[in-house]
Amino acid sequence: MALRSMRKTRGCWGFIRALHKAPEAAPAPQKDALRRVFSGIQPTGTPHLGNYLGAIESWVSLQSEPGSVLYSIVDLHSITVPQDPAVLRQSILDMTAALLACGIDPERSILFRQSQVAEHTQLSWILTCMVRLPRLQHLHQWKAKSAQQKHDGTVGLLTYPVLQAADVLLYKSTHVPVGEDQVQHMELVQDLARGFNKKYGEFFPVPKSILTSMKKVKSLRDPSAKMSKSDPDRLATVRITDSPEEIVQKFRKAVTDFTSEVTYDPARREGVSNLVAIHSAVTGLPVEEVVRQSAGLDTARYKLLVADAVIEKFAPIKSEIEKLKMDKDHLEKVLEAGSARAKELAYPVCQEVKKLVGFL
């Protein structure tokens, strides 16, 4: 598991090596440039079933593909809403433990804290000065979140998609895993890359989206909404660290409908279809096979079957998280090492951007 493999290298941290020679200017993008994947996750709350199936599971598999991968704990994004400093500090370590337990390997990827690489905010400001205010105001996530917060929405909440663009472009990333709710933000990233290239010459690759195969995991209590860490209904969201008893309770209470048969019809039967999609994802079986095997079961019994499959999937991950969280020093060293490697990539790119803009 992640803890044992990482401890072997704790003494020397031999995996900290430069992927580029710094500090020299990063070259212009080439058509045959090495594939580089970037993605980030906020350290707010324990990862839930939707985070795992919609993002983390694909992150793990991307480590085995050609090229390099960077995964950032985007703590700068987390403060777009109020955070308790002590809680945030611990949440960053908890998220690190969760990612390692799920299979993120610092020897095959770069795992780092966003705030520890200052070039993210430097590039973000340059890109912010290139985007028009109406473009940000028309993003659907700004509309939804600002409506929830009424008049308390901050400028950070409005401009964080530009910081997302900086996160991606800073490493000259070529591919970004995204869920369907992030497609609009990805279009902004691509437009900013093209706009910069048009103004200053070809520099940034225009990154492509990697759409995750798993659609949004829906709330167990409201299948019209996606599963969320911030859902006030504690029964709506299944967390990786939930006990077997909690998982069973949440699936027992999952909203379905008055038809007892197990079928997959997202348009007409959102609740049951969400359960089928979850069952398919955690077992690796096609949806059709899951439905076939569930023939004769009513939805009450089927909920328990899905709960058991989720418990089995998360049991080894939960156990590993508990071990990792007991070694704070180890988690901090993983992040320090990753941030150092990320900095080696970010610095020359940011320096070249400054030259192009006229700062150097």
Give the contacts of 204 (CB within 8 A, at least 6 positions apart): 29, 169, 172, 193, 196, 197
From the candidates 208, 216, 229, 343, give the one annotated as an active-site residue: 229
In the residue annotation, 31 being an active-site residue is answered as no
355 as an active site residue: the answer is: no
Strand partners, 239: 48
Cβ atoms within 10 Å, residue 154: 15
Higher-scoring residue by pLDDT: 28, 71: 71
Res 8 pLDDT > 50: no
pLDDT by residue (tens digit) across 160-178? 999 999 999 999 999 999 8
Q: What local confidence, expressed as pLDDT, does residue 9 receive? A: 39
Residue 4: predicted pLDDT:
41
User: Is residue 150 over pLDDT 70?
Assistant: no
The pLDDT value given to residue 27: 39
Stronger pLDDT, 54 or 324, i.e. the higher one: 324
How far is CA 264 from its chain centroid?
27
* Terminal-to-terminal C-alpha distance of the chain: 46
Q: Cα Rg for the chain, rounded, in angstroms? A: 21
**Per-residue pLDDT tens digits for 76-106:** 999 998 999 999 999 999 999 999 999 999 9
Checking if the pLDDT of 138 tops 90, the result is no
The single residue of 218, 226, 250, 313 carrying the catalytic annotation is 226
Q: Which pLDDT does position 20 carry in this prediction?
A: 37
* DSSP per-residue string spanning 265-298: -TTT-HHHHHHHHHHHHHHT--HHHHHHHTTT--
pLDDT tens string 54-76: 899 999 999 999 999 999 999 99
Give me the pLDDT at residue 272, please.
97
Per-residue pLDDT at 144: 72
- Among the listed residues 145, 208, 333, 354, the single catalytic one is 145
* pLDDT at residue 241 is higher than 80: yes
Q: How confident is the model at residue 280 (pLDDT cuts 50, 70, 90)?
A: very high
CB 324 within 8 A of CB 331: yes
| pLDDT higher than threshold 70 for residue 5 | no
DSSP 3-state of 164:
helix
Tell me the average pLDDT across 215-223: 91
Q: Is the pLDDT of residue 350 over 70?
A: yes
For residue 45, pLDDT over 80 is answered with no
Residue 229 is among the residues annotated as catalytic for this protein: yes
Question: Which has more pLDDT, 161 or 24?
Answer: 161
